[in-house]
Structure 1
């Protein structure tokens, strides 16, 4: 007999279950008081290829949500393994999250990039707000991707089960035998 544990879809159980999902660490950057500002988000996804569109979910009470609504621009930065400090800075609730020391200087960016870009990110999507919808405590923001920056190959920073994790190429993992699966 399988033991399922708590099966209620209450907020605490849902949060614990979602904590088991391992995913890329993602920081949304905007401008706040004319300075680069970042917020770590747990919900990010590609939506479609034509037109290239992503979605992020941001707490409707956050500074980032207000800045995205005001600016109608934002960037999504998928962090590399070297960016744990940036993730920690941008994930603290109720603290100042200016990222001036972590952004690429404007003169180093290609034409058309208007949002702050985090240095050493795995990839950055510079977006224009296509639509934003309220959903409970958050806004689901659809961003039309205007520029994709992928400076060089890096390993992604992952988070799941309450801790930062590193990726391992599947080729490096010893093959499992059928009996071992």
Structure 2
């Protein structure tokens, strides 16, 4: 039988462990009342290849999450190595995140013109999971570009290096 673990200690240890996992950084976007909305996330993953599906994790307090419904179109703009300032902008709350950042509607969602990769998905399920909600979606379009990816590791931005 394991010893009782203090919740605060476990949360701190878990946060530290997850900080040691390198993750790609993306800006997840949708339209809310006809206006572009976006939020920075590092918790997204390929869920299925047949059919192509993606999973994105959004904070339950997210205004982006509040705008989503089943069949909403969501864009996942995987950021390029030079886009750390964009990641920081979309990580904060408030309006005007898209001000002076080139974007266009693409496949039904706001798409950043400059990016490492793009996936558009239609929401198929919203699953509450602790303080986040898992957004599962059917992939509608995907593309890649010739930029190195932006990654997040140990609370710092970086990129992948090939050996």
TM category (shorter chain) comes to 0.7 to 0.9
Tell me the distance in 2 between the aligned counterparts of 1:89 and 1:25.
13
Q: Which residue pairs with 2:131 in the alignment? A: 137
Provide the rounded CA distance (Å) in 1 between the counterparts of 2:104 and 2:15: 37
Structure 1: stretches of 5+ with no match in the other structure: 1-5, 171-181
The residue number in structure 1 matching 2:57 is 57
Q: Any idea what SS the aligned residue of 2:51 has?
A: coil
Instruction: Quote the Cα distance in structure 2 between the aligned partners of 1:140 and 1:62.
Output: 12
Instruction: Report how many residues are paired.
Output: 158
Q: Deviations over 1:86-107 (max 9, x none)?
A: 1010112x3336325324334x
User: 1:1-181 counterparts in 2 under 5 A?
Assistant: 10-69=10-69, 72-92=72-92, 94-96=93-95, 98-106=97-105, 109=106, 113-150=107-144, 152-170=145-163
Change (3 A) 1:83 1:122: same
8 Å contact kept, 2:70–2:124: no
CA distance in 2, matches of 1:67, 1:44: 18
After TM superposition, where is structure 1 displaced by more than 6 Å over at least 4 residues in a row?
6-9
- Cα distance, 1:17 vs. partner? 1.3
Q: Secondary structure at the match of 1:81?
A: coil
Secondary structure, counterpart of 1:105 in structure 2: strand
SS at match of 1:126: strand
1:95 aligned counterpart, secondary structure = coil
Q: Determine which structure has the larger strand proportion and give its number.
A: 2
1:177 equivalent in structure 2:
none
Looking at CA atoms only, which structure, 1 or 2, has the larger radius of gyration? 1
**Separation of aligned partners in 1, 2:50 and 2:33:** 33
More helix by share: 1
Measure the CA separation in 1 of the matches of 2:99 and 2:118: 16
